[in-house]
Structure 1
Amino acid sequence: MLAFCVDTAAHYQEAAEITESVSLQYAKPENVVVAGMGGSAISGELLKDWARDKTQVPIEVSRDYMLPAYANERSLVLVMSYSGETEESLSSFLDALKRRCMIFCVSSGGSLLEFAEKLGVPYLRVPSGIPPRAALPYMFVPLLRLMEKAGIVSGVSGEFSEAVELLARVSGENSPELPVKGNFAKMLASGINGRAPVVYGFGVYRSVAQRFKQQFNENSKVPSKWEFFSELNHNEIVGWEKAGNLAECFSIIILRDKMESDVIRSRIETTKVLLPSGSKMFEVWGQGKCALARMLSTVCIGDFTSVYLAILGGVDPTPVENINLLKEKTKLVGAKERVKRELAELTGSR
């Protein structure tokens, strides 16, 4: 996992090259639904936050077996599954076909691309053999490119160039060769070690906070949670009032930005005063000028931190044993096989 962090900029650059010739032969959609789970779905969350002030076309992320009720022939459904075998994604693919949605699939292979090819659904095949959570560049960049091709957003190239340049610098500043002193990700990992991380974001950092949480779960093998401003000021802060000694079990990480609005800055600073003294508090400040660069560089710091925290805990960040165990247990229900049978029937009828 550490190698993927070190080579982050190169992976984003490769993803851009792979998606250079991608085409989308659909009319401009009324709405966009990104259907996926886990490491594939977070790409949709990042897209949703980044595009929020750039388009009037609603973008939603669906983490379920079925699409939202409004999805129809005027909806663009982007089915995301790195492995191509995620049962919820396959089920959403089937649902999108039944509703005659505009569909595009992104995967490294598996059943998703097998059926997409047979059914004549456009798709992009990305490099295989990567842990899904480390494949973020190959799942996120296609979404940016597709949104631009669909006329939903513009100006991707300029922001992307800055992001890749910044990612190369941030990766170097947090590389394993550098000692703890002067290596922000190592210092953060050392600071939160032994406590459950609680990550607070806002605005474009809402999904970044979610990514931090997921990486702490899967890489570091620790419980973690995430919240965002200003929603957390309407519930989360009350939960700390009587935390007592329980607060000592948590480290709070607040994602910050020099361009944050006055009202958000005021809320963050006031919240810091209200946090219990027993908890440890850290801040991660976004870098870069454009939103995409600030988001992805902060994601990079979170990725590095989660791997260093795993190393401090003496665990291998790569395996995800409980996820594999759950997949084996739920396989007995037969949901995935039922979906694949229906897809095969559709293939035979076309």
Structure 2
Amino acid sequence: MTWEPERLDDQRHLSEADPAGMLPAVAASAAHVRTGYRTAVEAEVVGRLAGHGRPRAIVVAGVGGSAIAGDILAAVAGNGAPLPILPLRSYQLPGWVGAADLVIAVSGSGAAEETLSVATQAVRRGCTLLGVGAPGSPLEAIATQASATYVPVPVTGQSRANLWLLATPLIVAAAGLRLVQADAELFERVAKALEDMAHRCRPSSESFINPGKSLAMDLAESVPMIWGSSALASVAAYRLACQLNTNAKYPAVHGELPEVDHNQIVAFDGPLAERDIFADTAGRTLRLVVLRDVEEHPQVTRRREASVRLATDRDVPVTELTAEGVHPLERMATLIALGDYASTYLALGYAIDPTPVSAITELKARISQ
């Protein structure tokens, strides 16, 4: 697999190398926000959850491409949330979770065994349960049997390509519980921001003006270390790392400032930061990718600036990207969308089909035996 950047502007290649349509799926993000909002309203999420009162805590269960919906909810609610919001990627509910708590089970397929296990435990413990996933799925069956609320979102393809279908109902629910400020106008602004990003990153837009292709070219032939400068930017950093893994089959490291300044930054002095200018072929070396947010702690801003200077002093290439928008959900959406495009273009630049996840499929087959 060789990196050939000219592939990114070859429209025939972009179409033929993406038979399952990951690029069109990313471009559908705006429609997914609108559909997710409408489906949540039709499922009467706000009214049904309000009848249970405000919970003591919220646990969001999910794995893989569905799990980040819980990270998005926690980051949008932020430090001002009057209760803890815990994303959970596991088979087991924590021992303290009980009847006073809300468990949100998210699964694009509606069949992830970890999420089904947690949803079943939530019902047994008397928790309030909200399910979000495919219609007619095992997860919907659990919710229906427990007389719980379920949002049947029309997921197609891979769960990671349906992020906003899965995440939007969670924000609607949180707004109904007065944990976040979000209404129809906000979701429409988010959808329009995603439409704008889709236009800027469209396949017919050439690499030198296309932010998605430009980021892919930065990432190619490097080992990316992706840092977020706030809670929401760190969610986008994690999402980008996961998308690089699953779309481009590519390694990546992610983290959040200031924590990364206590460990990952030392890699600037390691073997992957070294460059041999006399080598016949360029080796894969470290690249720092900083996802910036307008709402940074002042000390984090100082650390970010100093960290970038430190990388530059050691000839570690740096890419800085800044979130766009006013509301936290808007800002997160712009960073996530750009990363989704970049990871897909990186795959196509290597002539890798971004949709299949053969290693995951094989693993599931092995553990089911």
**Residues 1:274 and 2:274 aligned together:** no
Given that residues 272 and 286 in structure 2 are in contact (C-alpha distance below 8 angstroms), is that contact kept between their aligned partners in structure 1?
A: no
Match of 1:241 in 2: 269
Task: State whether residues 5 and 303 of structure 1, in contact with CA within 8 Å, keep that contact through their aligned partners in structure 2.
Answer: yes
The equivalent residue for 1:344 is none
1:299 maps onto 2:336 in alignment = yes
1:335 corresponding residue in structure 2: none
Q: Work out which of the residue numbers 280, 289, 292 in structure 2 matches 1:256.
A: 292
- Which residue pairs with 2:24 in the alignment? 3
Task: Name the residue aligned to 2:68.
Answer: 42
Candidates 79, 100, 105, aligned match of 1:74: 100
- 2:79 aligned to 45, 53, 60, which one? 53
**Deviation at residue 266 of structure 1 after TM alignment:** 1.1
Tell me the equivalent position of 1:173.
200
| In the alignment, structure 1 residue 192 sits paired with structure 2 residue 229 | no
Whole-angstrom distance in 1 between the partners of 2:182 and 2:109? 30
Q: Check conservation: 2:286, 2:316, Cα contact below 8 A.
A: yes
Amino acid at match of 1:328: A
Letter in 2 for 1:9: A
2:38 alignment counterpart? 17
Secondary structure (helix, strand or coil) at the match of 2:179 reads coil
Which structure 1 residue ranges, 5 or more long, are not aligned? Answer: 333-350
CA distance in 1, matches of 2:116, 2:91: 8
Q: Report the alpha carbon displacement of residue 320 of structure 1 after superposing the two structures with TM.
A: 0.6
Q: Which of 357, 362, 369 is equivalent to 1:320?
A: 357
Q: 1:7, 1:81 → 2: CA distance?
A: 19
Partner of 2:17: none
User: What is the identity, as a one-letter code, of the residue corresponding to 1:111?
Assistant: P
Separation of aligned partners in 1, 2:267 and 2:286? 13
Question: Would the aligned equivalents of 1:75 and 1:101 in 2 still touch at CA under 8 Å?
Answer: yes
What does residue 93 of structure 1 align with? 119
Q: Quick check: 77-86 or 6-15, which moved more?
A: 6-15
Whether the 8 Å contact between 1:244 and 1:278 is mirrored in structure 2 is no
Distance 1:323 1:209 in 2: 22
The residue that corresponds to 2:228 in the other structure is 201
Aligned equivalents of 2:272, 2:149: Cα separation in 1:
55
Is structure 2 residue 255 aligned with structure 1 residue 227?
yes
Whether the aligned pair in 1 keeps the contact of 2:66 and 2:106 (CA below 8 Å) is yes
Letter in 1 for 2:40: T
- Name the aligned partner's letter for residue 201 of structure 2: N
Aligned mate of 2:245, from 208, 217, 220? 217
- Pick the aligned partner of 1:138 from 149, 165, 189: 165
Identity percentage of aligned residues: 29
Deviations 1:6-42 (A, max 9, x none): 2221221121111123222322101000011011110
Q: Which moved more, 1:311-320 or 1:122-131?
A: 122-131
Report the more deviating stretch, 153-162 or 86-95. Answer: 153-162
1:232-267 C-alpha deviation (Å, 9 max, x unpaired): 112211233333656752222100134434322211
Q: What secondary structure is seen at the aligned counterpart in 2 of 1:53?
A: helix
For residue 155 of structure 1, what is the aligned residue in structure 2?
Answer: 182
Report how far residue 158 of structure 1 moved: 4.2
Partner of 1:311: 348
Change (3 A) 1:244 1:207: closer
Residues 288 and 27 of structure 1: CA distance in aligned 2, closer, same or farther (over 3 Å): same
User: Which SS does the other structure have where 1:60 is aligned?
Assistant: strand
